[in-house]
Homo-oligomer: A and B are copies of this chain.
Amino acid sequence: MYYKDLSKLIYRIFKKHNLSSKDSKICSDAITQSELVEATSHGLSRLKMYCDRINKKVINPKPKFKIKKISQSIYHIDADNSIGFVAAQKATNIAIKTAISKGFAMIGVKNSGHYGASSYYINQAVKKNLIALCFTNAPSAIAPYGSKKKMFGTNPISFGAPTKFKYPFIFDSSVSIINRGKIRLAAKQKKNIPYGVALDKSGKITTNPKKALEGVQLPIAGFRGSGLAWMVDILSGIFTGAAHGKSVRDPFDDFSGPQNVGHLFIFFKSSLFTNNFSKRMKESIINVKKLPKTKGTREIFYPGQQKYMKYNKNVKKKIKIPNKIKIEIKKLLVK
C-alpha cells in the first residue's frame, strides 16, 4: 500500500473510534511517518492498542486540554487523557510558535499517552531552524542499577538540530540496550531478541521476547544508562505532574486506567548565540564523515540521516504491512 492510502486508512480507523477529523489526521500522519522511516515498532504495530484503549475508555477520544501559560516561554498542558499524538502535537505547535517569537520554549505535558516516535515532533521543530530536546516517560521496563526488578521506562532522549544537508540531525534513542517496541515486534513476528539485552522474571538473560517483556530490559552502560532513564523520568514525569516510575501504565497490558504519560519539550532558536549555526553543523558533519572508518563501514552516518534516507525511499514505493497487522486493520475498519 502506498503511504497516502495507508494514511487515509488510519485516518478512517481513528474517525471510527470517535476522534475528531483534526485529531484523526494528527494520529494518522504520525503513524504513517513512523512506517516511512521504518520505525515500525512505533507505527502500525500499535494501532490496535490505541483503539483498544479508546474502546475501554482509558484513552479519551474527545479530550479538553487545560493549557496554562506560566511565562512568556513556558506552558503546561493537562492533556485530559488524550491519545499521546494529539497532546504531543499540541505541545509541539505551541513550542514552535513560542520558540520562534521568544527565542525559547518549554512545554510540560501531563495526562498524556504514548505518542509514537519523538523524532516526529523534533523534526517539525528542526524544519523551523530550531534546536529541540524532547523527553517522555514510558511504562516500567528497565531495572535501575543495583536492582533486578524494573522501575523506569525505556525513556528516550531525543535531540534535533538543523543542518545544511538534505537530512536533519535527529538523535532519538532509548536508554535501554534494545527498544521495548522492538521486543514487542519480535514477539509479534515470533523472532528471538539478541543475547544480553534483557532478563526474564527470575533475573536470567533471555532471548525470548515474551519472557523479556515479563522481565526487565537492561539499561545501556550500567549506572550511566540507569541514571539517564531516571533523569528522563524526572524531567517528563515527576516535573510535569504526570505519573512516574512504575505508576506509568503499560498501554498494551494495563487497561485499569489511563497511562498518564508525561512529556517535556524544550525548543529554542539555533541562531540565539551565533548567526552561522547551520554552517557550523555542516562543518561538524563533514569532519566526522572524513574520519578513517572501521572495517565494514562504508559511510559514517549522522543521527537521523539513515532514517530520513529511508523516508525518501519509502514515500515512492509501497509500504509492506505484515499479515497479522493487515488482519488487525480490517477488523478495526469494520468496528
Which of the four size classes fits the interface of chain A?
Answer: 35 or more
Whether A93 sits at the interface, judged by CB under 8 Å, is no
Near B by CB (< 8 A), chain A positions 118-163 give: 131, 143-149, 151, 157, 159, 161
CA A146 to CA B173, docked complex, whole Å: 17
User: Quick check: B273 and A239 within 8 Å, CB to CB?
Assistant: yes
Inter-chain contact A76/B291, CB cutoff 8 Å:
no
Is A277 in contact with B239, judged by CB distance below 8 angstroms? yes
The complex places the Cα of A82 from the Cα of B205 at a distance, in Å, of: 50
A227 surroundings in chain B (CB, below 8 A)? 171, 173, 303
Are B284 and A148 neighbours in the complex by a CB distance under 8 Å? no
Which residue from chain B places its CB closest to the CB of A108 in the assembled complex?
A: B273
The segment from A15-23, A42-50, A217-225, A318-326 found at the interface with B is A217-225
- Residues of chain B with a CB closer than 8 A to A280's CB: 238, 244
A130–B281 Cα distance when bound, in Å, is: 31
Is the pair A171, B301 in contact by a Cβ cutoff of 8 Å? no
User: Which A positions have Cβ atoms within 8 angstroms of B?
Assistant: 70-74, 76, 102-104, 106, 108, 110, 131, 143-149, 151, 157, 159, 161, 169, 171, 173, 175, 177, 203, 220-221, 223-225, 227-228, 230-231, 233-235, 238-241, 244-246, 266, 268, 270, 272-274, 277, 280-281, 283-284, 287-288, 291-294, 297, 299-303
